[in-house]
Amino acid sequence: MADGPVLARLHFGREDAERDVTEGLLLRGGFLPNAAYRAALSGRKMLIIGRKGSGKSAICMQLSADGGQHAGTVLVTPDETAGEEIRRFELQGLPGDSAKALIWRYVFAVHAARHLVTHAKDAHRRKPDSVKALARFLKQNGESAGGRLGDRLAQGARGLQTSLSLEAFGVRAGLDLAQAQAPSEGAQAARQLEVVEQGVAGAFADLGCAGGHGPLLVMVDQLEQVWSAEADSNSMVIGLLLAAKHAVSLYGGAVRFLLFLRADIYDSLSFGEGDKFRGDELRITWTEQALRDLALARARASAGAEMTAERLWAELFPAAVEGEETASYLFRRCLPRPRDAIQFLNLCQETAWLIHGRERITEADVLQAGRQFSDWKLKDLALEYLVAHPFLKHLFPLFQNTGYVVTRAVLGSRFDAAAESLHRLFPAYTDVLTLPGVIDVLYAVGFLGVRRGNDVVFAGGDDLPVQAHETEFHVHPCFRAALGATSAIDLRHFEPLGATTRVVQGGFHQYNDTGFASYPTRDHQLVQDLRRSCHSILAQTSRAVSLAQDARDEITRQINRVLDETSILLSGTASSFDLEDRLLVTTHYFDTLAAQLLASGLDGTTGAGDVVRRIEEEARRMRRRLGGSYGSSGSSAGS
C-alpha cells in the first residue's frame, strides 16, 4: 500500500473521536493541540465548551491517552439509563438543582474511592486505615466492582434517599443520623454524603496525594446523549456544575475535573450561581488557519511525514476552485469545526480516488463533493438541534432557490406566509416562532450570518447576537448548494448572443474581421450607447459601498455579460441577427434586473436604491434611443 498512489493513502481520519482512537489518526499524530487542550491539561479551566463536532471528545480521548501527567483518569459518559436516574432523582426539602448536585457528588466520591483503593497499593505501597475504610464502604454498598453506570446510580440514589451503609466510617446510619434529627430527606442525604466525602478527603490527605504527584483526572463527556430541553435535564447539568465546583474545593489538588459541554446546552442554563463559573469556562473556536494545520497533520499521519502544505494543496488537491485558493474554498464552506472539515476533505478524496479512479483530486471532484457535503450538512444541522429547535428544518424552505443574501423585510414577508403552518405544527414554540425569534435561532446555530460594516459575521466566540437595527443576512456558504442559493441575489442571468444565429427580421448587417467597417453609423452608435450604459451601471454599483460585496459582484457579473455581447457585436464575430431586436431584449433585461433587485429587499438602506435607479434610467435611455430617428443624440450621460 505504501508503494501505491499517495492519494490512495490519504485519509483525514474519522469524524468521531472514539473511532478515531481505535482505527483512525487521533493518536498517530492526527491530534492538533489547541488552546482548549492546553487549558485542560494545565488545569486552568474546568469547563470545555464547544459545538457538536468541535473536538471536545478528541481532547478527552487525548488526555486519557496521555496518562503520565495524572495519577489516574476517570471518564464518565452517561448512557440513557444513567441519565434517566439522574433526571428523576429528587429529595424532599431540596430544589431540583441541589438534589441533582448530590447524586453527582456521590458519583465523584465513589470514583475517587475506587481509585484510592487501587492507587494506594500500586503507587504508595501502603494502605492506611482511611483507605481500608473506603474499601469496606465500597464493598458494603456494592460499589467495588465495575458494572453499568446506570445500575450503580440507581443503587446510589436509593441509598441517598434511604440510607447508605456507613459502618466503615464508624457511623450507624439508622441510629446516628436519626439522633442528628435530620429535618428532611434532603438534609439526611446531604449528611450521609458528607460522611463519605470526608472519608475520601481523609484518604487523599493520609497518602499525601495533593502535590505529591499528578492529580486524579475526572472527565464527564457526552451529556448531550441524555439531555433534553426540559427542566429536569437542565437541573441535571446545573447539578453537575455545582457538584464539580464543590468537589474541587473539598479534594483540593488531589482531584481535577473536566466537564465537556455542548455550547447550546450550556448557554440554555439559567441559575443563580452561573456567574461563578465564568473563570472556569473555555470555548473551543477554530480559525481557518487552525483547520489548515489540522488537515496537514492528518495528511502527514496517513500519507507520510514528507507531506507538505504545498504538496497537499497544489498537487493532491487542485491549486484553485472557482478562482479561489483551494484550502480557503473548502474551509469557508465548512462550519468552523474539525468534524465538518474532516468530512469534506475525505469526501473530496473518495470522489477522486474511489469514484473516478484518479490519482489527483480535480476541481470537478471538489465541486461534486461540495454538493453532496452541503446536502449532508443541511440535514445534520436539523438533527443537531432537533431537541432544542425541532422546527429548524421547517425554516429552510424560506431560503430555497433564491439569493443567499436576504433582508429582514423580505424574510419577514416569507415568514408571514409560513407562520400559520409553523404555529400549527409547533404550538409549544409560538413564542420563538416570530421573525426576531427565527432570526436569533438561525444566527445562533450558524445558518445565517449578519452584515456588520463590510463584514459578514457568523455566530461563534463572543460575537454579539443579532441586533434589532441589523437588516441584512447571509446564508452560510456551507448550506447554499443544498438550498439552490448559489447567487447572492436572485437575478435572472443575461443570455449573451454569442455565436447563436438569429433569424433576420428585416435589416441584415454583415460584419467583417475589421469589425464595424460595413456597419451603418446609427447601428454602431446604438452598440456604443449600450456599452456606455453598462459602464454607467457598473460605476454606480461600485460606488454602492453599503451594498453587500457579494450582491455587488452578482450585479457586476450580469452587466459584464451584457458587455461581453457588445464586444461580440463590435468585433464582427457574430452571425446574422436583427440588431434593434437584440438591443430591445437587453433593455427589457435591464427592467427585469431592476425589478428583481427591488424584490430582493435590497432597498435604499442597503445602497441598492441608487443602482436600481441608474439601471432604470439607462433602460429608458436605450428605449428612447431605439425609437429615435437616424443620427439622433441619445448617448448616455455617463457616470
Q: Do residues 541 and 559 touch, judged by C-beta distance below 8 A?
A: yes
Q: What pLDDT score does 464 carry?
A: 84
Q: What pLDDT score does 606 carry?
A: 63
Q: Are residues 320 and 425 in the same domain?
A: no
Does the residue 635 lie in any domain? no
Specify the length of the chain in residues: 639
Q: 3-state DSSP call for residue 364?
A: helix
The predicted-structure confidence for 588-621, as pLDDT tens digits, reads as follows: 889 888 888 887 776 556 668 888 899 999 999 9
- For residue 57, what is the enclosing H or E element? helix 56-66
Does the residue 532 lie in any domain? yes
Q: What is the mean pLDDT of residues 394-404?
A: 94
Q: Are residues 362 and 414 in the same domain?
A: no
Q: Are residues 96 and 165 in the same domain?
A: yes
Q: Are residues 218 and 96 in the same domain?
A: yes
Residue 608 belongs to domain spanning: 521-627
Residues forming beta bridges with residue 324, ordered by sequence position: 321
The predicted-structure confidence for 511-529, as pLDDT tens digits, reads as follows: 343 444 444 567 888 888 9
Does the residue 191 lie in any domain? yes
Q: Going by C-beta distance under 8 Å and a sequence separation of 6 or more, which residues neighbour residue 409? A: 471, 601, 603
Select from 384, 405, 436 the last residue of a domain. 384
Q: What pLDDT score does 271 carry?
A: 83
Q: 3-state DSSP call for residue 418?
A: helix
Please tell me which of 159-168, 215-224, 425-434 the model is most confident about, judged by mean pLDDT: 425-434
Q: Are residues 267 and 332 in the same domain?
A: no
User: pLDDT at residue 147 above 80?
Assistant: no
The predicted-structure confidence for 329-344, as pLDDT tens digits, reads as follows: 999 999 999 999 999 9
Distances in Å between the Cα of 457 and the Cα atoms of 287, 327, 443 are 13, 20, 9
Per DSSP (E only), the strands in 493-558 are none
Does the residue 501 lie in any domain? no
Q: What is the mean pLDDT of residues 542-561?
A: 86
Q: What is the DSSP annotation of 149-187?
A: HHHHHHHHHHHHHS----GGGT--HHHHHHHTT-SSHHH
Q: Please provide residue 261's backbone torsions phi and psi, each rounded to the nearest 5 degrees.
A: -125, 140
Q: Are residues 113 and 261 in the same domain?
A: yes
Confidence band (pLDDT; 50, 70, 90) for 31?
A: confident
Q: Are residues 419 and 295 in the same domain?
A: no
Q: Do residues 579 and 516 touch, judged by C-beta distance below 8 A?
A: no
Record the cell numbers describing residue 470, joined without a space: 441589523
Q: Going by C-beta distance under 8 Å and a sequence separation of 6 or more, which residues neighbour residue 192? A: 159, 160, 163, 164, 166, 173, 177
Name the DSSP class of 604. G
Does the residue 505 lie in any domain? no
Confidence band (pLDDT; 50, 70, 90) for 635?
A: very low
Burial class (CB in 10 A: 0-12, 13-18, 19+), 413: exposed
Does the residue 499 lie in any domain? no
User: pLDDT at residue 236 above 60?
Assistant: yes
Select from 483, 509, 531 the last residue of a domain. 483
Q: Are residues 61 and 108 in the same domain?
A: yes
Q: Are residues 443 and 365 in the same domain?
A: no
Sheet containing 405-407, strands listed edge to edge, beginning at the edge strand earlier in sequence? 405-407, 472-475, 448-452, 455-457
The predicted-structure confidence for 253-296, as pLDDT tens digits, reads as follows: 899 999 999 988 998 888 888 888 888 889 998 999 999 999 99
User: pLDDT at residue 210 above 70?
Assistant: yes
The predicted-structure confidence for 83-116, as pLDDT tens digits, reads as follows: 888 888 888 888 888 999 999 999 999 999 999 9
Q: Are residues 117 and 204 in the same domain?
A: yes
Select from 467, 483, 499 the last residue of a domain. 483
- How much is the pTM? 0.79
Q: What pLDDT score does 467 carry?
A: 92
Give the chain's domain count.
Answer: 4
Does the residue 434 lie in any domain? yes
Confidence band (pLDDT; 50, 70, 90) for 2?
A: low
Q: Are residues 276 and 131 in the same domain?
A: yes
Q: What pLDDT score does 197 carry?
A: 94
Q: Are residues 251 and 339 in the same domain?
A: no
